[in-house]
Amino acid sequence: MSKIIYLTTNPFKFREAEIVLKGKYGLDIEIIDPDFEIYEIQAKTCAEVAAFSAKYAADKLGKPCLKSDTGLYIEALGGLPGPYNAYFHKQIGVEKFLNMLKNETDRKAKIEHCFAFCEPGKEPIVFTGECHGTISKVARGKDGLWHDFFFIPDGETRTFAEIGDENPKEKASNYGDAMDKFAKWAKENLQ
């Protein structure tokens, strides 16, 4: 199997790829913090964002690339922030975001996790997964992205951040099965 280039600037995504793609599936992954900006389009879904970014990177590097995107969809906010997750984090942060929801009783949410793989000159293949849960009233934990501090997966009492504080492998397995779907596909198709 040829080496797969996974482009990310996010240390938590880097760790997750190390745990799942390398550790669990034994894929030959080179995780790179790219030395060029990978454009992220504004789109309705994380799948569209990841697909565009993977194609852009593969064509620019001339090598097969893997790119991911994660979105947070909150029912009470009509699905926002969705694929604008990072923008919400930069603009208002955790505390202001939770303050916006302080009187909201419907705290249902889902995390969408997408991986897009693309070879140069070809169309990307997208793998999606999701995790349903709720939004906590206060931020808890130390490990993770901004939504990890307040997203509680169904069947849990801990936030993603608290899960990561205790066991990063357990946290990686809670994000949905997009990475697993990609890894299984890669083992069968990238020889």
What φ, ψ does residue 186 adopt, rounded to 5°? -60, -40
Q: Which of 7, 51, 6 is CA-nearest to residue 28?
A: 6
Residue 101 to residue 169: CA distance in whole angstroms:
30
User: What b-and-e string marks burial along 8-40, b requiring 16 or more CB atoms within 10 Å of the CB?
Assistant: beeebbebbbbbbbeeeeebebebeeeeeebeb
Residue 180 to residue 176: CA distance in whole angstroms:
8
Task: Give the active site residue among 28, 33, 69, 143.
Answer: 69
Give the DSSP letter of residue 68. Answer: E
Residue 177 catalytic?
A: no
Amino acid making up residue 124: P
Residue 29 to residue 137: CA distance in whole angstroms:
38
Catalytic residues: 69
